[in-house]
Amino acid sequence: MPTCRACGDRAEQFLDLGRQPLSDAFLRPEEVATEFTYDLTVTCCQGCGMVQLGSEVPRERMFHSEYPFRTASSHRMTQHFRAVADRLVAHSSTADPFVVEVGCNDGTMLRRLAETGVRHLGVDASADAVRDATAAGVQAQCAFFELETARRIAAEHGRADVVYAANTMCHIPYLDSVLAGAAALLTDDGVLVFEDPSWEDVFRLASFDQIYDEHFYLFSATSVSALALRHGFRLVDVEHLDVHGGELRYTLARSGAREPGPAPAAQVARERALGLTDPDVLAGFAERVAAKRTALLDLLRSTRAQGRSVAGYAATAKSATVLNYCGIGPDLIPCVYDTTPEKQGRLTPGTHIPVLPFPDSPDDLPDTFVLFAWNHTAEVLDKESAFRADGGRWIRYVPDVEEV
């Protein structure tokens, strides 16, 4: 029987997405024969309600110098993080705040703090991402954030007023050490703020591609509230964010340091009403995921049968789950276009579809794009308005499988 990685209680499996590759391991042809795979299953803790993967991929396999994702690959996300930086400073209770970002990636958020002279430090496990952050004028160091890292930062730089993480906490199975680290690093009135895909949104949209090796947890206010209490913190605020397909931003303060606002209790009540930890409801989610696989395969096959050319739009980490779970290979999607130089010329994980730079000429675009970057729909459709105007079609699978 699986146990909850967060609290140790019993965890029940409710979804099996099959054998999967590492979502961000874009392969050179010679690496295909030795490709790493693991079983992608999802469980829900019967005690604290934490939704999590049934097995853990060693962190060094996922996060290393060649980690290809860069936050700045989305213009809208870059704007989002500039606003986050301003807000962290505006809401700080001290005049000269020190902000630590866990998983700072290329420093997109911290750049804003660096520009305005705010004391900051980024921590990231990818040496190449840290190099990009440093080149942009950000203070950053390469490390996995855990208790020892936090103690070292506190000794070298002093206590932090804010520990912030975006799309990072859900990547870390060993939250005990991270929460202990936050407790060691934060000032008495300091806050731990993090934003990650929300289980409620994944559930509502059946966006099962949010589930992959790197996304070990799918947080909710219910599970984060329990997590906070076990580590001497309290969830004092929660906000819904309209980014990356729906996220929640959690603010944790030391127990007794700040009064919780009304939002956490309201969000927990919403989650309870939706039955987000109820085994029958979870079984229904698994059925919706299986139905999406059938519908997407049917649509792709009929599109190809009509003689229409198809390509993937953006070699996202998320697309690995869709492609591998559905068994979609180069016969259905001959190539995927992506803006990331580190992914171009490689093969998609598991399904080995070539990743290419976007064509220079509109004449070389396919008849139909499969929108793997659906979480950036507004940005992409804006950028690709000429494709649509010229009769190009989009296949998407979130919220529903459809061609538009």
Binding part of the chain for ligand DWN, among 136-144, 234-242, 325-333, 335-343 by CB under 6 A, reads 335-343
- In whole angstroms, what is the distance from residue 206 CA to residue 234 CA? 30
Q: Which of residues 163-192 bind ligand DWN (CB under 6 A)?
A: 167
Q: Which of 379, 381, 392, 393 contacts ligand DWN by CB under 6 A?
A: 379
Is 315 a residue that touches ligand DWN (CB under 6 A)? Answer: yes
User: Would you state the structure tokens that stand for residue 295, as one six-digit string?
Assistant: 């519908």
Closer by beta carbon to ligand DWN, 186 or else 311: 311
Q: Which of residues 230-249 bind ligand DWN (CB under 6 A)?
A: 244
**Smallest distance, ligand DWN to C-beta of residue 146, A:** 19
Q: Which of 17, 121, 347, 380 contacts ligand DWN by CB under 6 A?
A: 380
Closer by beta carbon to ligand DWN, 238 or else 320: 320
Closer by beta carbon to ligand DWN, 7 or else 102: 102
Q: Which of 52, 251, 316, 351 contacts ligand DWN by CB under 6 A?
A: 316
Is 338 a residue that touches ligand DWN (CB under 6 A)? Answer: yes
Q: Which of 340, 354, 392, 393 contacts ligand DWN by CB under 6 A?
A: 340
Closer by beta carbon to ligand DWN, 63 or else 98: 63
Is 300 a residue that touches ligand DWN (CB under 6 A)? Answer: no
Q: Which of residues 51-90 bind ligand DWN (CB under 6 A)?
A: 69, 73-74
- In whole angstroms, what is the distance from residue 241 CA to residue 385 CA? 25
Closer by beta carbon to ligand DWN, 126 or else 222: 126
Q: How many CB atoms are closer than 10 A to CB 252?
A: 30
- In whole angstroms, what is the distance from residue 247 CA to residue 210 CA? 11
**Smallest distance, ligand DWN to C-beta of residue 128, A:** 14
- In whole angstroms, what is the distance from residue 394 CA to residue 20 CA? 26
Q: Which of 206, 326, 333, 373 contacts ligand DWN by CB under 6 A?
A: 373
**Smallest distance, ligand DWN to C-beta of residue 167, A:** 4
Q: Which of residues 3-22 bind ligand DWN (CB under 6 A)?
A: none
**Smallest distance, ligand DWN to C-beta of residue 69, A:** 4
Closer by beta carbon to ligand DWN, 234 or else 292: 292
Closer by beta carbon to ligand DWN, 261 or else 354: 354
Q: Which of 17, 99, 317, 328 contacts ligand DWN by CB under 6 A?
A: 317
Q: Annotate the chain with three-state secondary structure.
A: CCECCCCCCEEEEEEEEEEEECCCCCECHHHHHHCCEEEEEEEEECCCCCEEECCCCCHHHHCCCCCCCCHHHCHHHHHHHHHHHHHHHHCCCCCCCEEEEECCCCCHHHHHHHHCCCEEEEEECCHHHHHHHHHCCCCEEECCCCHHHHHHHHHHHCCEEEEEEECCHHHCCCHHHHHHHHHHHEEEEEEEEEEEEEHHHHHHHCCHHHCCCCCCEEECHHHHHHHHHHCCEEEEEEEEECCCCCEEEEEEEECCCCCCCCHHHHHHHHHHHHCCCCHHHHHHHHHHHHHHHHHHHHHHHHHHHCCCCEEEECCCHHHHHHHHHHCCCCCCCCCEECCCCCCCCCECCCCCCEEECCCCCHHHCCCEEEECCHHHHHHHHHHCHHHHHCCCEEEECCCCCEEC
User: Would you state the structure tokens that stand for residue 104, as one six-digit string?
Assistant: 């700072």
Binding part of the chain for ligand DWN, among 111-119, 323-331, 375-383, 393-401 by CB under 6 A, reads 375-383
Binding part of the chain for ligand DWN, among 3-11, 220-228, 312-320, 361-369 by CB under 6 A, reads 312-320
Binding part of the chain for ligand DWN, among 13-21, 229-237, 315-323, 386-394 by CB under 6 A, reads 315-323
Cβ-proximal residue to ligand DWN, closest one: 316
- In whole angstroms, what is the distance from residue 287 CA to residue 330 CA? 26
Binding site for ligand DWN (CB under 6 A): 69, 73-74, 167, 214, 244, 314-318, 338-340, 343, 373, 375-376, 379-380, 383
